[in-house]
A and B are shown apart, each in its own frame.
Chain A
Amino acid sequence: MHANESQEPKSNDDLQQLWQQSIHNESIKLKAGQMILDIKQEVQRIEYIFPSGKWSVDLVLIFMAVRGVVRLFNGIEIGDTNKIIFAVADMIFWSLLAIRQIIVDNKTSHFNENNERGYCRKQLERIRLQIMYMRYLSPFLSTVLTLALLLSMWLDFRVWWALFYCCGIGVIVYMELSNRSLVKEKLLPLRDKLESALQHLNEKA
């Protein structure tokens, strides 16, 4: 295969032969069906944890934010304090998610993924934005939702509703704690890994 193969000493051919003898195709068996299933699950898991910005998602989030504004005006018109509280929380929640989604989209869409550097840079940007979201935006949104629930409970206390709201607050706290461990165990190591890979690719270039 080499351009200058004929001039190379025999010891080099021996090395190639020796190397290729170490592992043969016949000594490895792949269970193709299981492999495809595992890989699809792995890719889906990565997409779920680090969603890529998509215009369809932007539109849904903008729609939800606008719905919050409409509900706020509706609540003010009726004079229902509970409705106003939830409409404000709704509006803040979906608006911030929409803004975040648009930022992710704008910051990651211009990378060329056909080369390794572009791919690494895009993934690194996604991970950094995801870390910022999980560290700062997500706790803020959770606080807004929790305050809305507490305020609503305080204004109109009913035992069953209070129990229901407490469960909601429990879920929010659980999700925030899960996010913290996700950042620590998955996102930060992945960010370091991508930074090292990018540094290596830059040195090579």
Chain B
Amino acid sequence: MSAFQQPSTSTREADFVRLLEDNKARIMRLCKAYTSSREDREDLFQEIAVQLWKALPSFRGEASVSTWMYRIALNVSLRFSYETKRPKPSKERITWIEETTPHPHDDATRERIEQLQRCIASLPEVERSIMILYLEECSYKEISEITGLTETNVGAKISRIKDKLLGCMQKSEGGV
């Protein structure tokens, strides 16, 4: 990923495509946590891609690529969730994302994935951001850099949110 440290115009497109190709599932999972429909999810993905493209030349490698990417993606997602609370003007549909059927899971796994997604969607926005970063296996240091919280605070919050999430999952399982 060191190529991102000194982006030139000639390599910008290649860097950008590689960045998105490597991280498209991560970004899409994030989009799914902040939206309720496929259209909104694709719109959010598009908006994150535009912001990453715009920010790429100013990326100086002070943070890791994933920290930089998550910081932008989360800020765009939060802005997007504010925006979707008001009626949106009609927008042209994008044509460059194709979502195919995910890996075949058995019914029980699929049900648990859906429960997890529902429980994450029910969290307040800031808690949701922290939990998504945790589930994406970001270190506490990275989460702290992305969210601006101290590492100790991140640890405490994650522990609390995890309990909440597991409780929600168990409740859902009990309800099924």
Contacts and interface: CB of A to CB of B under 8 A. Distances in A.
Contacts of B86: 189, 192
A185 B75 CA distance: 22
A187 B75 CA distance: 20
A113 B51 CA distance: 13
B53 A39 contact: yes
- Place the interface of chain A in its size category: 35 or more
A194 B80 CA distance: 10
B71 A12 contact: no
Contact of A38 (B29, B78, B96, B103): B96
A18 B112 contact: yes
Contacts of B138: 1
Given A30-B97, A36-B16, A204-B148, A116 B75 contact: yes
B28 A35 contact: no
B100 A29 contact: yes
B156 interface: no
A155 interface: no
Interface majority SS (helix, strand, loop, mixed), chain A:
helix
Interface string B15-46: 01100111011001100100000000000001
A21 interface: yes
Contacts of A18: 109, 112-113, 116
A192 B100 CA distance: 35
A26 to B, nearest CB: 8
Contacts of B78: 197, 200
Contacts of B141: 3
Max chain B C-beta neighbours (<10 A), residue from A23, A26, A43, A204: A23
A1 B139 contact: yes
- Report, nearest first, the 5 A-B pairs whose CB atoms are least far apart: A19-B135, A35-B96, A196-B82, A29-B98, A31-B96
21 contacts: A2-B139, A15-B162, A15-B166, A16-B137, A18-B109, A19-B135, A20-B137, A21-B102, A22-B29, A22-B113, A23-B25, A23-B29, A30-B24, A39-B49, A114-B60, A185-B89, A189-B86, A193-B83, A196-B83, A197-B79, A200-B78
Given A21-B113, A27-B103, A196-B79, 9 more contacts: A2-B137, A15-B165, A18-B112, A20-B25, A23-B29, A24-B102, A29-B97, A38-B46, A116-B75
